[in-house]
Structure 1
Amino acid sequence: MALITTYNSTQKFLHWALFALVILLYALTYGEEFYSRGDPAVDAIWRLHISFGLLLAAFVLWRVVLRGLRGTPGLPAEMSRLEQTAAKAGHVILYGLLIALPVLGILLTWFRGDALSFFGLFAIPSPFTPDKATARNIRELHELCANGILIAAGLHALAALYHHFVRRDGVLARMLPGG
């Protein structure tokens, strides 16, 4: 097997699309704050949140499958064992959160008694009896993971910028479009 030195264009697209979706989903969540309870705009925001969350789930699945099939570029040899361990742990955390968020979002929607609707194109009814207590617990986990992914992604971005501006080792360039 040939040594992989960069990510392919599909991997780069998925990386940046997932970044954009996470930010969009977070923004939609806080967009609700601008409307009073019961306003139809709140319902529209949540329908968008669910639809974009399902898109995130599809992209995460695609990215995980692609990573399994193609692999990833190796880490720079100059990185210490501690840095390599931190990089691997960071990626495991990011992938874990990217998987957990849509799964929890789907369960939350269903335990609220709602169907999953993808931009109104199709709907998947809830297989569960509505359960407010379970929905509340799932929502707390979903929110915790959402905050966690912002922290993990922020640390990931800081590490990439460190590699680019301080180490100058090309780690960031491997994920930039056209690189």
Structure 2
Amino acid sequence: MNDTLPNRYSAKARHFHWTVAALVVLAYALILSTDIFPRDTGIPALLLQSHFWAGIGVLLLAIPRLIERLRHTPPSVSPPLHPKLELLSRLTHWALYAFLFAQPLLGIATVWLSDGAIPIPGTSLAIPSPFGVLPHWGHSLESIHKTLGTVFYYVIGLHIAAVVWHQFVRRDNLLKRMW
């Protein structure tokens, strides 16, 4: 059975897209929830740790997602976009891919440099930092990680706004390709 129609992304691509999107939403929800609970309850630490592992999930799925994207030409939007809109679309998508790699990698580096190791939940094991503990660098990377996270609220918002515009104003097949 062929799961790829000429006007639709492959089943793998759709799966990666929606799973990564869910993990990104989860990562944001977890980190934003840390301020809701008092620190002495331990809940913020659990939420932060869960945020970290949601980010690792994003990174682990971003790799095969990018490979799938590079192996298959995206189905065309019908009717075709104006060349300037097509360029803006491509730039936004590559910015999203950069985010899917940069954010988790910055998070990993931040933990390594700040704490010296990444603890593995449910075990007494940890992945040691290849760089040692450099708190100043860890703090600097954490600042970049937070700033990039804020910037990408807007890039993600632009992506969602474009989908809504395509679906309800332009009425093309953009959303149907990923559904």
Q: Do both proteins adopt the same fold according to a TM-score greater than 0.5, normalized to the shorter chain?
A: yes
Cα gap change, 1:17 to 1:119, in 2 (>3 Å): farther
CA deviation after TM superposition for structure 1 residue 37, in Å: 3.3
Q: CA deviation at 1:120?
A: 3.5
Deviations 1:27-74 (A, max 9, x none): 111211123334422221222112111111101111111112223223
Structure 2 residue aligned with 1:172, among 161, 171, 175? Answer: 175
Q: 1:33 aligns with which of 31, 35, 38?
A: 35
> Which residue does 1:104 correspond to in 2?
106
Q: How far 1:77 moved relative to its partner?
A: 5.2
8 Å contact kept, 2:77–2:172? no
Does 1:157 pair with 2:160?
Answer: yes
Which residue of the partner structure matches residue 54 of structure 1? Answer: 56
| Structure 2, unaligned runs of 5 or more | none
Q: How far apart, CA to CA, are the structure 2 residues paired with 1:140 and 1:59?
A: 25
Alignment match, 2:127: 124
Consecutive aligned runs of 4 or more in structure 1 exceeding 6 Å deviation: none
**Greater RCO, 1 or 2 (C-alpha within 8 Å, sep 6+):** 1
User: Normalising to structure 2: TM-score of the pair?
Assistant: 0.88
Distance (whole Å) between structure 2 residues aligned to residue 9 and residue 53 of structure 1: 23
Shift of 1:106: 0.6
Gaps of 5+ in 1: none
Counterpart secondary structure, 2:104: helix
Task: State TM-score, norm by structure 1.
Answer: 0.88
Match of 2:145 among 142, 147, 152: 142
User: 1:43 matched to which residue of 2?
Assistant: 45
Deviation of 1:117 after TM superposition, in Å, equals 4.0
CA contact (8 A) 1:47 1:117 kept: no
Please report the RMSD computed on the Cα atoms of aligned residues, expressed in angstroms. Answer: 2.1
Give, in whole Å, the separation in 2 of the partners of 1:63 and 1:132. 33
Pairs aligned (count) = 175
CA distance in 2, matches of 1:114, 1:25: 22
